[in-house]
Amino acid sequence: MRRRALLAIGVLLAGLVTGPAARADGPLEYVALGDSSAAGLLILPQIDLACLRSSVNYPHIAAQQFGAQLTDVFGCGDPGLQRETVRLRAPQYDALSPTTDLVTVAITGNDTGLVSAALSCINLLPPPAGTSCKARFTAGGTDQLAARIAATAAPFGQALDRIRELAPNARILVTGYGTYVRPNGCYPLIPVWPVDANYLQATIDRLNAMLAAQSAAHGAQYVDLRTPSIGHDACAPVSQRWLEGLVPSSVAAPLHPSARGMAAFGQIVAAAAG
């Protein structure tokens, strides 16, 4: 009995590791939609030089885990919801069909302007020799970045509804954004004041909360990348870093995942899809 129980547990664990089962008529059809946060800008090898898309971005890693047939249609790394109604119809939305089994979605970062906001927070000298970007973005009692996130919620929900309409039989996974900077940052390694580092990560957390809420409201599953990437932020030693800082330590875009990060996120997405 004990041997049979152990064998059953082994079979169960094997199923959990290998991910979702293949379809009877072939491999799972997996479509990856998104922006530069998942495209793998500059990470080698690049499979689309026009779009700076990498063959080791997280969708490719996840697809390899469970033998899926991947259609990776990241819109040149820069779709964005506001452009979605115009530009994502082809090729991103056009990749979806009733036979699609799995969709991963990584968007909204561009619409809220997080990368440009982070770049505006650079201060080469310590306080008070400069200007706090938190003070600038919250001047007058209104948090501009929070307002952008709130304004993006409804269009994002509409995008999820559109995906469901075009791929009615698919599971939809929405991937969040990681932990880019630890509490108080790591000035001067990343030349952003502690108060601004905390504000930027809090803004990313606010964006993640919106993505999670909209996912729940529109029949999608939110995949948390924030928690597992704690300790792997841009302040971490290079050997432990999943997310690059203002000056990348590897061949990757600033303020984007590294190849190491893509590998880790791919494993997380594969586990969520299992």
Do 160 and 219 form a contact (C-beta atoms < 8 A)? yes
Q: Which of 36, 37, 54, 215 is catalytic?
A: 36
Q: How confident is the model at residue 199 (pLDDT cuts 50, 70, 90)?
A: very high
Taking the C-alpha atoms of residue 254 and residue 269, their distance in angstroms, rounded to an integer, is 22
Reported as a pLDDT band with limits 50, 70 and 90, residue 24 is low
Residue 60 annotated among the catalytic residues of the structure: no
pLDDT given for residue 20 in this prediction? 58
Instruction: Render pLDDT for 110-168 as a digit per residue (tens, 0 to 9).
Output: 778 888 899 999 999 999 999 999 999 999 999 999 999 999 999 999 999 999 999 99
CA-nearest of 69, 88, 111 to 214 is 111
The dotted CATH code for 21-273 is 3.40.50.1110
Q: Which of 23-32, 61-70, 78-87 has the highest mean pLDDT?
A: 61-70
Two structure tokens written together for 230: 């704690």
Mean pLDDT estimate for the chain = 84
Secondary structure element (H or E) that encloses residue 32, with its range: strand 29-34
Q: Which of 60, 232, 256, 258 is catalytic?
A: 256
On the CB side of 6, CA atoms within 13 Å amount to 3
Q: Are 241 and 193 in contact (CB under 8 A)?
A: no
Share of the chain above pLDDT 90, in %: 59
186-196 pLDDT, tens digit per residue, is 999 999 999 99
Cβ atoms of 211 and 156 closer than 8 Å: yes
Active-site residue flag, 218? no
Q: Enumerate the domain spans of the chain.
A: 21-273
